[in-house]
Amino acid sequence: MTDTKKPDETRVVAPVDPTRRTEIDKQRVPMSARPYRLLALVKQDAVVRVQKEPDDTVMTWPHLLSIEFLAAGVMSVFLLLMGLFINAPLEELANGNVTPAVAKAPWYFLGLQELLAYFHPSVAGVLVPGFVLVGAALIPYVDRRNAATRPSERKTAVVLFSLFCILGLTLTFIGIFFRGPGYSFVIPYLPFFQNSTNGLHFAL
C-alpha cells in the first residue's frame, strides 16, 4: 500500500456496475467499518522500487545554450563575411524630379507591387495586405476544431497555407527577377528572348 495522493479531479468515484467489479471495488468498504482506506493495489516489487516518472527534459546549460551560442556565432561570422565582401547599395542623391528606369519597393513588398500590375491599387495596396495581416492573426481562432499538430492529420490547413505561401513567393519572385524598365516584363540574362535584359533590375 502506498500513500499516493491523487489530484482532486481523479478522486471522484462513480458507482460501479456489480458485474464489472474489480479487485479494488471488492475491497472498498464504508469508512466506518475500517480505520484505513485502500488507495491502490500495487505489485509487490513496485513497493520497494518506486519508479520515477520518465523524464524527457535536459539541462538548459549545456544542451540548449550551446546550440544557441553556436547558431549565434555562425550567424555573426556569416554577417561579418557578407559585410566585408558585399557592399550595401547606394545610388545617387535622392531626386524627386528624376524617375529611375526601374522603381521598385523593398523586396518584401514586391509581391504587392506585382499585384498592382493586375489589380486596382485599392485592392493590391490596401485590401490584400490588410487581409493577409488580419487573416494571419486569425489563423489560430479559425483552425480550432482540429487539435492535431502532425501535418498528415491537418492536411487542409497545411495545403491552404502552403498554397498561400507559394503564391506570395511566386509573385515576389516575378517582381524581383522578371520586371525591368517601366515595370515591364523582362527575362534576365537570356539574350535569345526578345524581352531579355542583361542583368537584374533589383537592389536590396
Partner 1 sequence: MSFLERVDTSIRRSPVWRSIFRNPYPNDERSRAYAVMNNVFLHLHPVRVRQHAVRFAYTFCLGGLSFFLFLVLTVTGVYLMFFYVPSATQAYTNILDLQTRVAFGLLTRNIHRWGAHLMVFFVFLHMMRVFYHGAYKPPREFNWVVGVVLLFLTIMLSFTGYLLPWDQIAYWAITIGSNMAGYAPLFNVPGKVLLLGGLEVGQNTLLRFYVLHIMVFPLVAALFMAVHFWRIRKDGGISGPL
Window 168-197: residues binding partner 1 (CB under 8 A):
none
Q: Which of residues 142-161 bind partner 1 (CB under 8 A)?
A: 143, 147-151, 154, 157-158, 161
x/- letters, 25..54, toward partner 1 (CB under 8 A): ------------------------------
Size of the site for partner 1 (CB under 8 A): 71
196 three-state secondary structure: strand
Prior bond to 30 cis, omega within 30? no
What is the rounded distance in angstroms from the CA atom of residue 123 to the CA atom of residue 129? 9
CB nearer to partner 1: pick between 29 and 130: 130
- Cβ–Cβ < 8 Å for 128, 168: no
CB nearer to partner 1: pick between 17 and 56: 56
Among 84, 156, 192, 194, the residue binding partner 1 under the rule CB under 8 A is 84
CB nearer to partner 1: pick between 75 and 190: 75
Joined together, the cell numbers standing for residue 26 give: 471488492
Question: 199, 159, 161, 157: which is closest to 181 by C-alpha?
Answer: 199
Question: 123, 118, 135, 127: which is closest to 183 by C-alpha?
Answer: 118
**Region from 24-32, 43-51, 135-143, 174-182 binding partner 1, contact rule CB under 8 A:** 135-143
What is the rounded distance in angstroms from the CA atom of residue 37 to the CA atom of residue 29? 8
Question: 164, 166, 146: which is closest to 155 by C-alpha?
Answer: 146
**Region from 1-9, 19-27, 29-37, 75-83 binding partner 1, contact rule CB under 8 A:** 75-83
Among 47, 77, 80, 166, the residue binding partner 1 under the rule CB under 8 A is 80
Among 28, 125, 173, 177, the residue binding partner 1 under the rule CB under 8 A is 125
Question: 201, 170, 169: which is closest to 185 by C-alpha?
Answer: 201
**Region from 5-13, 21-29, 30-38, 65-73 binding partner 1, contact rule CB under 8 A:** 65-73
Residues 6+ apart with CB under 8 A from 204: 88, 89, 107
Among 41, 75, 77, 163, the residue binding partner 1 under the rule CB under 8 A is 75
Among 9, 31, 94, 199, the residue binding partner 1 under the rule CB under 8 A is 94
